[in-house]
Structure 1
């Protein structure tokens, strides 16, 4: 067991050379296709929903709320239930975390990959999935997390290093770009129970203002994260 733990730690802390500019641009192009292709987006959007709900859950715990469970649904919607004060900064932060979470996670992943820790990104995502798995409360959510986790385990454990790096770059680009599309969907089809409406009831900022905050945050993360991935590699 100790030898296994050391091997895992060595893999997490090891560095990998940056891919060629061609690979970096190719992974960006692949991620953009996943986000922009109408027939593909409904499938890959489940991954963004998973991060969205995981972000709600993480911030809820960090602000002292008690997490009661996470549900992921086949229509790409989700629900995270936490218990605590119905108003106040903790509730506001928890409600705001969902739409901002994928972009923030993508920005963190971009920082790691830009410093040669592409494989560490995959392991961080695996650890996050384990945390979500513990809180899943429905069968579709369980299936989604297990399928995603199995794919990550296969890549981190058996794929060649070059494919691990390419996968980490693709996931990072996907998080950065994919975080923006749900905000556009929210702007076009905002329902009365959306995070923006919840925040409007909790604060003095109207729902549209919160949608604009989500848009600014996700676009800003995409621009900054993309510049990190491209810096010193693409001239």
Structure 2
């Protein structure tokens, strides 16, 4: 299996259809509550990856059945490292989607599937609760099954659907957080923790999350649709 050989993109109507399917998973609340687990994996994985890159010690990752999560790191309680770690959560799914769109735009479907599998395997090592382990294992198994048991056409459609979901699904959580904060909830959200650390209002951090997610969606869609 050649990870770096380009593959032909599916027909434009299939690319559009995968985007519509991802939107249909993202918008209805009942479906979203289940599908959001995948965004939570990306969110907590983003915290963990950036924490390691910033020189912090990654202690544990937990994923919960209500689609919330927790990443525990050790290091200086202030400074750039902890700021980057906190900022990585809500931006992780959109940025992963943008990176995936870049790979698909270059025809690297196989590379995308196996890169995602490798990231899930690396994350699994740090997950410390049963539900989290189950979620990551099932997600990773889906990528492996598609990579091994299906043909190039099915792999491409699956990869496009995943990337569309990361891009579209990455837009919704900042709006959900904004709604919770408006009702007085989520006092220890990433935005509020960042506000206390940087003395920048939480609303500015929310605007940053919105800007990243929407920019990634626009840029990613441009690559996926070959505009």
Q: Shorter-chain TM-score: what band?
A: over 0.9
Q: Gapped runs of 5+ residues in structure 1? A: 1-6
TM-score normalised by structure 1 residue count: 0.93
CA displacement 1:46-99 (0-9 Å, x = unmatched): 000000000000000000000001000000000000100000000000000000
- Residues 1:66 and 2:61 aligned together: no
- Residues 1:216 and 2:207 aligned together: no
Q: How many residues align?
A: 223
Q: 2:107 aligns with which of 91, 103, 116?
A: 116
- Residues 1:54 and 2:45 aligned together: yes
Instruction: Name 2:14's counterpart in structure 1.
Output: 23
Q: Secondary structure at the match of 1:15?
A: coil
Q: Superposition pairs for residues 114-193 of structure 1, below 5 Å?
A: 114-190=105-181, 191-193=186-188
1:164: how far off? 0.1
Instruction: Name 2:33's counterpart in structure 1.
Output: 42
Q: 2:189 aligns with which of 182, 187, 194?
A: 194
CA displacement 1:121-157 (0-9 Å, x = unmatched): 1111100001110000000000001110111110011
In the alignment, the residues of structure 2 paired with residue 130 and residue 146 of structure 1 have an alpha-carbon distance, to the nearest angstrom, of 8
In the alignment, the residues of structure 2 paired with residue 38 and residue 78 of structure 1 have an alpha-carbon distance, to the nearest angstrom, of 19
TM-score normalised by structure 2 residue count: 0.97
- Residues 1:96 and 2:87 aligned together: yes
1:37: how far off? 1.5
1:184: how far off? 0.5
Q: Gapped runs of 5+ residues in structure 2? A: none
Instruction: Name 1:207's counterpart in structure 2.
Output: 202
